[in-house]
Amino acid sequence: MAIHPIEYRYGTPEMRQVWTEDTRFSYIIAVEVALARAEAIHGLIPEAAAKEIEQCAPHAKLERAKEIEREINHDVMAIVRTISECCGESQRWIHYGATSNDILDTTTGIQLKDALSLIEEKLLDLLKILLDRANETKALACAGRTHGQIGTPTTYGLRFAIWASEIARHIQRIRELRPRIVVGQLTGAVGTQAAFGEKGIEVQKSMMKLLNLVPVDVSNQLIQRDRYAEYFMVCANIATTLDKIAIELRTLQRTEIGEVEESFGKMQVGSSTMPHKRNPVKSEQVSGLARIIRAFIEPALQNNTLWDERDLTNSSSERVLFPETSILLDHILSVMIHVITGLVIHKKNIRRNLELLNGINMAEAVMIELTKRGMNRQDAHERVRIASMTAYEVGKHLSETLNEDKVIMGYLSHEEIPSLLNSDHYLGTAIVQVENVIRKLAPLCS
């Protein structure tokens, strides 16, 4: 019976597959085979033994290894014995010179390589969609907001471009991170490689080359967890960007704002008691699961503070941290791709909110123009502020209170004020910025 929501609710099949027991077991077998082949290359074990191990090891079964583990209470030794049962005389050379974490951490390196590829692929997909939406809405003026209050205009294209730029930085982080965490080791009991003699470094290089991993420069009994902590922090950073986007979309979907809306299926139900509801449930799911991903940073950091050459306190937490972080991040990336692709943009509501304050949100444009025409900037700010507060309090349009100020009208004509208060005329370089972002980032998606 399924217990964890990852088993039945969250996650994509491809990312789940990376972290299944079967996949990890098959990778452990591959690592043991690579160890034997590397040792044969450097004359530590007979070539015939390496060949036999390569042929027989894939016949080892996970269920048999679990049976043995229940007896001896050691997971790696159980696998070694399982492989040994499948081999003949070569079994004496299985796991020769290695310690458990040479195998386990190297296996984790392979899984992280697979996980990073899937995450990067999703980030690229999301980047492309954000750039498409940015291009589509680059000139769509909307109310900018600071402190939750309407400010000067911005464009939806600029919002999408800002998110796209952030996702592009995450792609860069993933690519920079890969060489530091897609690594393996063969360093023995305490990191000295004593069991391999003088050939230890070369055997490690050969083994990692066979597995397409980078060998560590130095280690003790395990790969140092600062590497893995960085993975969890990058995942949390990505999740936080998705959370930020989700919060913005949820805010903009509020009934009284109503500028955007998650796609809503014809048969979709929003509430068990309120038939009219159209809730942003996908964005809310992203925000909720992002909290879980961020929460894993602390145990990931603590896993680097082990006793001496190692203890076992990292092992149990990592059995949870790696699959849950990877699967949940992959899941919310998929959800956000779906949300942005199907996002409905309500242009009438956007225009309504843009004009909601009767021109008061364009006060800056008037102040700037007055300063250009010779008024002291501070005086211009104060006079426009008073005109704005008056308009706000008595419910007038800003154009009316501006026209009532004789000093202001000494610098402006009545005919110029409507143009100054036109939101579409005060977008600055927003469109150009969006076009520059698209031009810069589009090659990443090709």
Question: Which of these is catalytic: 263, 271, 316, 419?
Answer: 271
C-alpha span between 236 and 180 (Å, rounded): 17
Catalytic residue check, 271: yes
245: exposed, middle or buried (Cβ count in 10 Å: 0-12, 13-18, 19+): buried
C-alpha span between 429 and 138 (Å, rounded): 11
C-alpha span between 201 and 90 (Å, rounded): 24
**Unique residue bearing structure tokens 């008037």:** 366
Let me know: does 157 contact 345? Beta carbons within 8 Å.
no
C-alpha span between 75 and 109 (Å, rounded): 18
Let me know: does 153 contact 427? Beta carbons within 8 Å.
yes
220 token code pair: 């003790």
Let me know: does 151 contact 144? Beta carbons within 8 Å.
yes
- CB-based contacts of 155, cutoff 8 Å, min separation 6: 137, 138, 139, 140, 141, 142, 427, 430, 431, 434
Per-residue exposure over 166-189, b if at least 16 CB sit within 10 Å of its own CB, e if not: bbbebbebbeebbeebbbbbbbbb
Question: Which of these is catalytic: 147, 272, 276, 446?
Answer: 147
> Distance from CA of residue 258 to its chain's centroid?
27
Positions annotated as catalytic residues are 147, 271
